[in-house]
Amino acid sequence: MSGKNVKDEDKIDFGASDSAMSDAQIALAGQDVLMVPITAGGVVLAYNLPAFEGELKLSRKAYAGIFLGEVTNWNDKLIAESNPGLTLPDFPITTVVRQDGSGTTYAFTNHLDAISDKWHARYGPATRVAWPGNPMLAPGNEGVAGRIQQSIGSIGYVEYEFAQKAGLKTATLENKAGKFVRATGISCIEALKEAPLPDNMRVFVPDPSGSDSYPIVTYSWILLRKNYTDAAKAQLIRDLFSWCLRDGQFSAPELGYVPLPATAVVKGLAALETITSGK
């Protein structure tokens, strides 16, 4: 570095997260932060249970109980009652969770916080959790998906895209309306419809109420600077993410993501135009 002190933050042009930054985090960054939603998707519960044949349905009580460490066997009555006529194996459940701070963890725990009084009292929503029981830890969505793939009896939370790439089975989950819904582009879009974006672009949908809504959804945000000292770089940033908001949305379904609602695209494009350059 030739003796020059370069701050880490000066090396970073943009970031991305499934958890929107809080006011406190933005203040810590000197207010030089612009959040723009770039895509959306579902967080699924992927599992490895080769002895089980059929569509695995998990009620809200069942999957909250699993990650609270209270439902510990696959033939537990809370799981069995949602899967009548199907034979569940007498086999221990092993949860797979993120070992690193994660927006995916935030989206999942924000949902658990909304549906479970016990989770709310003990943990709340967070990007990193001291998970109960004896979970397997893995880095990143790919790490969680890989660990599930290798571990019979396991279940873990992961973005739909990564479960799809790994060929993992995913559970059908009970939503707020009491309906069991699979994660699809349509069911995730239904969930996002009830949460229009505010001006600061920060919105969460912890427990969507629509009867056809998948229950665990999140926007994904690009985290940008409001001002870049290099004018050419500022223009490249605007061009790149303008393309993502326009043409890039057509690629979302094949990649396992959900296209943004039209209103979110309009607000995102307007936000990109506010990026400035210069000292």
pLDDT in tens, 185-233: 999 999 998 788 888 889 899 999 999 999 999 999 999 999 999 999 9
Decide whether 8-40+193-203+219-277 matches 42-184 in CATH topology.
Answer: yes
**Mean pLDDT rounded to a whole number for the chain:** 92
Q: What CATH homologous superfamily does 8-40+193-203+219-277 map to?
A: Periplasmic binding protein-like II (3.40.190.10)
What average pLDDT does this structure show over 245-261?
92
The proportion of the chain whose per-residue pLDDT surpasses 90, expressed as a percent, equals 78
Q: 104 or 279, which is more confident?
A: 104
Handedness of CA 173, 20, 39, 203 (dihedral sign): positive
Does the structure show a pLDDT above 80 at 3? no
Task: Kindly report whether the global pTM for this prediction surpasses the value 0.85.
Answer: yes
Tokens 């973005």 label which residue?
159
Q: pLDDT value at position 28?
A: 87
Does the structure show a pLDDT above 80 at 249? yes
Count Cβ atoms below 10 Å from residue 84 Cβ, excluding itself: 7
The DSSP secondary structure of the chain, one letter per residue, reads -TT----GGGG-SEEEESSPPPHHHHHHTTT--EEEEEEEEEEEEEE--TT--S--EE-HHHHHHHHTT---BTT-HHHHTTSTT----S-B-EEEEESS--HHHHHHHHHHHHH-HHHHHHT-S-SS---SS-PEEESHHHHHHHHHHH-TTEEEEEEHHHHHHHT-EE-EEE-TTS-EE---HHHHHHHHTT----TT-----SS---TT--S-EEEEEEEE-SEES-HHHHHHHHHHHHHHHTGGGGGTGGGT-BPPPHHHHHHHHHHHTT-EE--
Does the structure show a pLDDT above 90 at 270? yes
pLDDT in tens, 66-76: 999 999 999 99
Tokens 């959306």 label which residue?
40
Q: pLDDT value at position 10?
A: 59
Which of the four CATH numbers 3.40.50.300, 3.40.190.10, 2.60.40.1180, 3.20.20.70 does domain 42-184 have?
3.40.190.10
Domain ranges of the chain: 8-40+193-203+219-277, 42-184
Band of pLDDT at residue 52, cut at 50, 70 and 90 = confident
Band of pLDDT at residue 175, cut at 50, 70 and 90 = very high
What average pLDDT does this structure show over 125-151?
96
